[in-house]
Chains A and B, each alone.
Chain A
Amino acid sequence: MEPGLVEVIHGRHNPMIDGAHGMHVWGWEVPVYLFIGGMVAGATILLALYELRFKEKPTSLSAQLVPWLLLPLMGIGLLALLVDLEYPTHVYRFFLAFQPASPMSWGGWLVLTVNAVWVAMGLGSLSATTQDWVLARSGPVAGVLRWAFDMGEAYRKPILWTALAFGVGVGIYTGLLLGTLVARPPWNTAILPPLFLTSGISSGAALMLLMPLSDKEQHTFVRWDAAAMAIELVLIVVMVISFVTGSAADQAAGHVFLGGHHMPAFWAIVVGGGLIVPLLLAGFEIAKNRPLTRLSPVLVLIGGFTLRWIIVVAGQEASFASLAMAH
């Protein structure tokens, strides 16, 4: 037997902290939220970029309605977060404070205010025909709605730039939230915020590519999706390299992706199924210039969700304390 530590008898057995697989304070609710938050952020960024780039509204009804779809989607994500809170009736405390050092505090305010941005964005997204259809059925509130539609149109450009900023903010903060926690080596990397952002953009594109889009929208989002996935792939490779060549804490984090029990799911579902196969399919679609299948967006969404799941679980398993015991 090698000299060294032979036995540790730990007298602490706090529930959720000292389980058989390490700490487990964040269950399914957090990866579900991180996935949905990333996806809606990505869709916001892509929609804003589309209109800023082409200086025209999306022509398909589904793309016009996406800002309105993001409201209930984010609602589901926030409901998951509320379920995760141990003291849910104190949720209002998030909005009685602003803690500049806490990404979660920034996030609380961002996910609250982004709803107003989506409403403003959604008002201007609707085509004149859709606006008229809505106005004809809105009875006594038609006047207010007409004014709201006009405002949405009049301030379209600042609204789109604001939406872009909020999309990036929401997309980045979730990665920053985990990335700033030194206690959990697999989270503690500056790659995590841009990784979650790019993964959110590809998930947002996948969400929209599952809907009936115009040819131009389909054509554009497939390309932007491919770009996001290519960047994400590079970020993953850089992250794994920096982990395995880093300090003891980094190497423990690297073990999650190379050698640990999450390795098969990470490389098969996140990298293979969620990035490489969709990238190849996107390449084929771009080369042949025609939409092929809905398989690709489904794979991207599964990969995006699995990425959050593995990161959230693995980070909690690999605490600084267990690392010290291993060395």
Chain B
Amino acid sequence: MTTDKRYVMTMDTTKCVGCQACVFACKSENNVPEGYARDWIVETVQGQFPNLSAEIRSERCHHCSNPPCVYACPTGASFIGEGGIVMVNHDKCTGCKACIAACPYDARFIHPDGYADKCTFCAHRVARGDQPACVTVCPTESLTFGDLFEPDAKVSKLLASRKFKVMHEDAGTEPNLFFLI
């Protein structure tokens, strides 16, 4: 789907301290049920003691430009919305879980009410000009959200100037969650 915007998020792994503010902001903003998470923290430690390096990442749906979840969905419940945000129409969802099996990031889950659920980049907030909840609460400003088609947007400048990586590039999903390294 071609859109006139391309919403992306950058996650600065050199700034994140793993405080989980993003996780709790998301839970609060989106009424994420107890025991479930739309975003989460992953900490990895690499190397051999005492030469260790750690990386802390705040992860969520990658809102792929080539989203296997959308292709797998038999009812059209999963779709590409405004600015490329991958969304789920709860009313159309049968809970068949094809989208969950299709996601290389395991970013989706079944909401206790029976439908597939996941991060929406807080599309309801974005629609009224606000930032996603996780971005607004990040105390180290490691999360940045914006329109990559806008050259002056902070995300565009970050991705033009910083080294970054995307997860599971081999899966060919063209993810829009970029990890600054």
Contact = CB atoms under 8 A, between A and B. Distances in A.
A9 B40 CA distance: 11
A6 B97 contact: no
Nearest to A316: B101
A320 B168 contact: yes
Tell which of A7, A88, A107 has the most Cβ of chain B within 10 Å.
A7
A13 B37 contact: yes
Given A5-B44, A8-B42, A182-B68, A17 B94 contact: no
A102 interface: yes
Given A26-B101, A87-B93, A11 B76 contact: no
Interface stretch (B4-12, B105-113, B127-135, B143-151): B105-113
B95 A87 contact: yes
A17 B59 CA distance: 15
A257 to B, nearest CB: 20
B20 interface: yes
Tell which of A23, A97, A182, A248 has the most Cβ of chain B within 10 Å.
A182
Interface residues of B, number: 52
B170 A14 contact: no
Interface in A1-43: 1-18, 23, 25-26
20 contacts: A1-B48, A9-B42, A9-B44, A11-B41, A13-B35, A15-B109, A17-B100, A17-B109, A23-B100, A85-B94, A86-B97, A86-B115, A87-B114, A87-B115, A93-B93, A104-B74, A183-B102, A183-B171, A320-B104, A321-B106
Interface of A: 1-18, 23, 25-26, 84-88, 90-91, 93-94, 96-97, 99, 101-105, 107-108, 177, 180-184, 247-249, 315-316, 319-321, 324
